[in-house]
Structure 1
Amino acid sequence: MTEMTTARKARPTRLVAVGGTFLAMLDSTVVNLALPTLHRRFPTESISTLSWVVTAYVVMFAAMLAPAGRIADALGRRIVFLGGVGLFSAMSLAAALAPNLGFLIAARTLQGIGAAAMVPAALAILLLDGPAEQRARAIGFWSAASAAAAALGPPVGGALVDAFGWESVFYVNLPFGAAMIYGGVRSLPRPPRAQHSIRSRMPDPVGTVLLAAGTAALTLGVTQGPSWHWTSPGTLAALIGGAGAIVAALLYTSRTRVPAVDTSLWRIRTFAVTNIVSVFYGMAQYPWLLVGVLYVSTVWHYSPLQAGLAMTPGAVTAAITALGLGKRLAVLGPRRVLLFGLVAIVACGVWLVLGLTQQPRFLALWLPAGLLVGVGMGATTLATSATAALSAPPVAFATASGVNTMARQFGGALGIAVAAAVLQTMDGARAQAYERVYVYCTAFVVVAFLITLWRMRIPAPPQATMTQHPAGESREQVADSR
């Protein structure tokens, strides 16, 4: 079978996996511009209460990524991916039909769990159900979908809300979800019959619940800290309780046969350093995208649709960069690509800090900045995703992907908390407030650059041997590289 024929056979699988990733990441930001319209739909609710429509999804998405990746490696990526798409789609319909705000928030919470199941399983599908020699290119597709979706959320959300109302941001998921379920059932390979029972392959349930609850509580405390106040009982309970639950999960699961937390991955130096870098990158990426929309809306007085479209150039260049560099990743090396991406983001940060004005300057300032930061985010997302996944053995691809995406999501929650604190203490209608946020974002990227430069060393791939997949599949097992 020729390489072209193999790639053609893998195309439906690739489309399904990339589509799932795109939808999950898109819904992290697509609802942001719907909040004013939701306020008119539920006029008795406060803005802080309405913000839970966004917060509930983000918190559960971050909390369930690592457990979902572990379950996908143990139970099988096909069943976890299809289950995640089904839950995500069903909760999208429930959110669109929500009779009250409480029902809408509950639907968004479950939708976040479905999204968390889709993302790590999707990358494992791309890496293991396609040609092994095209793994770097597959990560390019996955990274392009991830980077572009987060940036496209505001323009897509703005256009849908303006044209069809807030319900449309949820209805739009339904045809794509149905298409992915249909395509997944037809194209995703069925794993061989497992040699062991499902119960024996599933990670420790107590540790899994503790890990998810701890991550959710920590993310909640960080996300709500600026509005609840950092010294309030609720914030302190979330932060301390979340940290305690994670410590308890690590202690408890270390004594179980199938631990909820695969601590062996953290002994791989490349994996550990990449996730630290991803936290700092997330601290810049998510507030960067958020304050960009706020800046052009509040300072330049763009409409929601105009504000969303102003973010589109960055999404386009992010996707093009990830796809293009994905083809050359093996030649260039992920460390070099990562350094390039971080330098591009720093350069854009300096450009914005020095150039933000009170008067609109789209062509002279915003467009080139958007194109440049898109290049940086596309390269950085590609390099961190590839390094984290491929530094793990193939039987742990989904786990590694889930942990890395969770690191970026948690960093994003920290960064948004910093941005919210800055905007609360300054006049949000003045360009100076947004300059300060971009200063912090740029500083976070500089830290990520220095960690990459000094601590990240990516060894040559070790000799592969064959081992038995926990779910009954025979896969390459790559020895730990420290």
Structure 2
Amino acid sequence: MTDTIHRPSPDTSPPEPATAGTTATAPADSGRAAKLALLVASGAAFMSFLDLSVVNIAFPEITRDYPDTAAGTLTWVVSGYAVAFAALLTPAGQLADTLGRGRVFLTALAGFALTSLLCALAPGAEWLIAGRFLQGGTAAFLIPAGLALVLSSSPPERVGMAMAAWTAAGGFAATVGPAVGGALVDWFGWRSVFVINVPIAAALIAAGWRLARGEHRQPHGLPDLLGAVATGLGIGTVVAAVTQGPQWGWTDARTLGSALIGVVLLALALWRSRRHPRPAIAIGLWRSHAYALVNAVSFVFGATMFAWLLAGPLWLDAIWQYSVLESAAAMSVGAVASMVTAVVAGRAPVPWQRWLGVLGALLFAASTFYMSTGVFDTEPALWSGWVPAGILGGGGIGILVTVLGTAAARALPPQRFAAGVGMNITARQSGGALGVALLAAVFAAHPGQPLTAFHTLFACCAAIAVVTAVLAALPVRTEETTS
């Protein structure tokens, strides 16, 4: 986290295309093109981030629909999306540069619609999990291609406003996600949260088909696909070791073998990324101490945030016996609090950002610690328990995510902004996959004791949030400014 603007030391890796953060040649109707790109890219960001929150609301219903599948296995419905998203985000942006951002963006929209339909029609849990992996992969192409379209079509004086609008679309999705997901599940069943993506994607394709017209490809070469596969498999096998550890045994050969294979694959991906001209992991950005620290905080906080967001609907369903709509209304407390604090944090002076990040992590720690106490028992305590915890937790998320995004942008020169945002999202998604695995491991370790499992999980989330606060408070080395 930074108190002042820091820039990385000179980077020897190949430069990003000028369109990633600067304005390229503008056509005569550049104003209309910029508005169209912003509209369609923001719609895609809204859809992809909405899918994260609505699936959390639908998760209790999904577990009831597949009673013969272990709950730990079903958590891959959430973590599978995160793993694929994290593994492919950087290569997806590079591929969009090579093949054309508009083409890749529209193809990814079609892919997201098709994979959403596959999830909706899944005849079994295995099909649903596979569909979620594929859906996360297509979402990974949507985000960098859409962001690059916005940045490349916006005039320099409007880049900040365009980025604010694009970011707000994702934040708005998180805010309305519980309400939208609750209504869909209650009225039409959990499969509707995937079906709804199909008409939205079709409308975005119809509106944005002009984005690929007359687009010129840029000869940058293909990204490191082997490195991307190694990254995805590495994260996935580590998550599998944490998820299945309680069933297999922590010293079982399968658990240890999965963890070891995952670490080796991630080491391979990092090794290739140091040498490949188009790496799967943008480790060249880590030369900035400020940026590396931001990503470390994002990774750690992603673990506790994802676990908390999935545990909330499960608690309301299993312990307090809330209906889907009641759960959605309760989850909206934290979502609204997050939106409010995000706006406040976004307007805060730069020198305050570091300590605002610490405050956000501590607010989240207070919320999860409160939820691990006897106040949260089998007797519903909406106003004395859930609402205060939701305000603290959601408020902490809004502050920290906003501060981290701002710090990631400030830590890099403008031409690296798109890659920097993508890498920061990758760090958070990777941590989130491990957080969901932690949830599965805790519940598997306490079979038949849901209350104990929830309290243990919330205590773990509080401890991780405290670690996040410590990392956020670390000072940053002063670095030379580069153009």
Q: Indicate the TM-score class for this superposition, using the shorter chain for normalisation.
A: 0.7 to 0.9
Q: Which has the higher contact order (CA 8 A, sep 6+)?
A: 2
Give yes or no for the alignment of 1:307 onto 2:307. Answer: no
Alignment match, 1:108? 132
Q: Of 155, 169, 192, which residue of structure 2 is paired with 1:168?
A: 192
The question of whether the paired residues in 1 share the 8 Å contact of 2:233 and 2:262 is answered with yes
Alignment match, 1:85? 109
Taking a change above 3 Å as real, the CA distance of residues 388 and 428 of structure 1, as seen in their structure-2 partners, is farther
User: What secondary structure does 1:314 align onto?
Assistant: helix
**Structure 1 residue 439: deviation in Å?**
2.4
The question of whether the paired residues in 2 share the 8 Å contact of 1:39 and 1:47 is answered with yes
Give yes or no for the alignment of 1:344 onto 2:367. Answer: no
**Structure 1 residue 171: deviation in Å?**
0.9
The question of whether the paired residues in 1 share the 8 Å contact of 2:100 and 2:217 is answered with no
Give yes or no for the alignment of 1:385 onto 2:392. Answer: no
**Structure 1 residue 40: deviation in Å?**
6.3
Q: For the residues of structure 1 that align with 2:142 and 2:171, how far apart are their CA atoms?
A: 16
Q: For the residues of structure 1 that align with 2:214 and 2:286, how far apart are their CA atoms?
A: 28
Map Cα deviations across residues 315-356 of structure 1 (whole Å, 9 max, x no partner). Answer: 122223334543x25656643442342233234334444563
**Structure 1 residue 458: deviation in Å?**
7.8
**Structure 1 residue 239: deviation in Å?**
2.3
Unaligned runs of 5+ in 1: 1-5, 463-477
Q: Of 204, 215, 223, which residue of structure 2 is paired with 1:203?
A: 223
The question of whether the paired residues in 2 share the 8 Å contact of 1:139 and 1:386 is answered with no
The question of whether the paired residues in 1 share the 8 Å contact of 2:98 and 2:218 is answered with no
Q: For the residues of structure 1 that align with 2:342 and 2:168, how far apart are their CA atoms?
A: 5
Give yes or no for the alignment of 1:65 onto 2:89. Answer: yes
Taking a change above 3 Å as real, the CA distance of residues 58 and 229 of structure 1, as seen in their structure-2 partners, is farther
Q: For the residues of structure 2 that align with 1:52 and 1:455, how far apart are their CA atoms?
A: 36
**Structure 1 residue 265: deviation in Å?**
0.7
Alignment match, 1:440? 460
Alignment match, 2:311? 291
Alignment match, 1:400? 420
**Structure 1 residue 58: deviation in Å?**
3.1
Alignment match, 1:193? 216
Taking a change above 3 Å as real, the CA distance of residues 415 and 38 of structure 1, as seen in their structure-2 partners, is closer
Structure 2 residue identity aligned to 1:346:
A
Q: Of 266, 275, 286, which residue of structure 2 is paired with 1:266?
A: 286
Give yes or no for the alignment of 1:236 onto 2:260. Answer: no
TM-score using structure 2 length: 0.80
Alignment match, 2:375? 356
Q: For the residues of structure 2 that align with 1:339 and 1:68, how far apart are their CA atoms?
A: 32
Q: For the residues of structure 1 that align with 2:123 and 2:225, how far apart are their CA atoms?
A: 34
Structure 1 residue identity aligned to 2:358:
L
Once the two structures are overlaid, the 10-residue window that deviates more, 32-41 or 413-422, is 32-41
Alignment match, 2:48? 24
Structure 2 residue identity aligned to 1:157:
G
**Structure 1 residue 112: deviation in Å?**
1.3
**Structure 1 residue 430: deviation in Å?**
6.2
Alignment match, 2:206? 182
Taking a change above 3 Å as real, the CA distance of residues 42 and 194 of structure 1, as seen in their structure-2 partners, is closer
The question of whether the paired residues in 2 share the 8 Å contact of 1:283 and 1:416 is answered with yes
**Structure 1 residue 77: deviation in Å?**
4.0
Once the two structures are overlaid, the 10-residue window that deviates more, 234-243 or 9-18, is 9-18
The question of whether the paired residues in 2 share the 8 Å contact of 1:60 and 1:113 is answered with yes
Unaligned runs of 5+ in 2: 1-29
User: What secondary structure does 2:54 align onto?
Assistant: coil
The question of whether the paired residues in 2 share the 8 Å contact of 1:120 and 1:398 is answered with yes
Q: For the residues of structure 1 that align with 2:288 and 2:138, how far apart are their CA atoms?
A: 29
The question of whether the paired residues in 2 share the 8 Å contact of 1:221 and 1:236 is answered with yes
The question of whether the paired residues in 2 share the 8 Å contact of 1:143 and 1:385 is answered with no
The question of whether the paired residues in 1 share the 8 Å contact of 2:376 and 2:385 is answered with no
Taking a change above 3 Å as real, the CA distance of residues 414 and 377 of structure 1, as seen in their structure-2 partners, is same
Taking a change above 3 Å as real, the CA distance of residues 249 and 423 of structure 1, as seen in their structure-2 partners, is closer
**Percentage of pairs with the same residue:** 40
**What is the alpha-carbon root mean square deviation over aligned residues?**
3.5
The question of whether the paired residues in 1 share the 8 Å contact of 2:85 and 2:139 is answered with yes
**Structure 1 residue 268: deviation in Å?**
0.8
Q: For the residues of structure 1 that align with 2:245 and 2:299, how far apart are their CA atoms?
A: 18
